[in-house]
Amino acid sequence: MAHAPEEVEEMARLASALVLNIGTLTLEMVAAMKLAAQSANAKGIPVILDVCGAGPTSFRDRKCFELLDEVRIDLIKGNASEVARISGARVRTKGVDAAAVEEDLEEVALSLALKRKCTVVITGPEDLVVDGRRRFVVKNGHPLMSPGSGHRVHGGFGDRHLCRGGAGSGRGCGRGLICFNVAGEIAAELSPGPGTFKVRLF
């Protein structure tokens, strides 16, 4: 949650993983993200890029690509249209809601994972994890978890052994998603409606 450029490098060095979320971009925030990511890269701390809302503006897309080009990203996460947009597919998006994607999502994720040498996670009714060598589809969860719950799933990737590039990264991310979705299933059983569900899920 640290945004100030004066402290992000120090904060990143204390973390188990660093999450960069482009949901509310400013030039200053992107500069701070780069500082934090460079600090995390130097310490071998995994960096997760949540491409939240990628697509509706050229500024947002440009800054995503800047981050991908200038720092080491270990995991890219987003919904189907956000990830497709970052992979280079022609997708119309209006914000954080997933738009229709004509391309095969597995191919989109694999292409991006290979190009960026990272793990790619596409969240949705079924979550897709591709690490360049393997794919995992996570089918559990509950309808109350959507939309928006995907933005809270970073905690499942917060261990350097789960999201760091390599043979186990896709499996580790799949495990994180499964745990998060099980929490959603349990929360739904205890909740009469969506308001209570959010509290139970936390």
Kindly write down the DSSP assignment for every residue of 165-202, as one continuous string: SSTTHHHHHHHHHHHHHHHHHHHHHT-SSHHHHHHHH-
Contact 69, 77 (CB under 8 A): no
Quick check: 164 pLDDT over 60? no
- For residue range 112-143, what is the model confidence (pLDDT) as tens digits? 999 999 999 999 888 999 998 899 999 999 98
- For residue range 60-94, what is the model confidence (pLDDT) as tens digits? 999 999 999 999 999 999 999 999 999 988 777 66
Q: Average per-residue pLDDT in the chain?
A: 86
Q: What number of other Cβ atoms are within 10 A of residue 146's Cβ? A: 15
What is the structure's pLDDT at 102?
A: 75
Domains in the chain, ordered, with CATH? 8-201 (3.40.1190.20)
What is the structure's pLDDT at 1?
A: 79
Distance from C-alpha of 105 to C-alpha of 111, rounded to nearest angstrom: 10
Distance from C-alpha of 55 to C-alpha of 138, rounded to nearest angstrom: 25
Distance from C-alpha of 188 to C-alpha of 191, rounded to nearest angstrom: 5
Quick check: 48 pLDDT over 50? yes
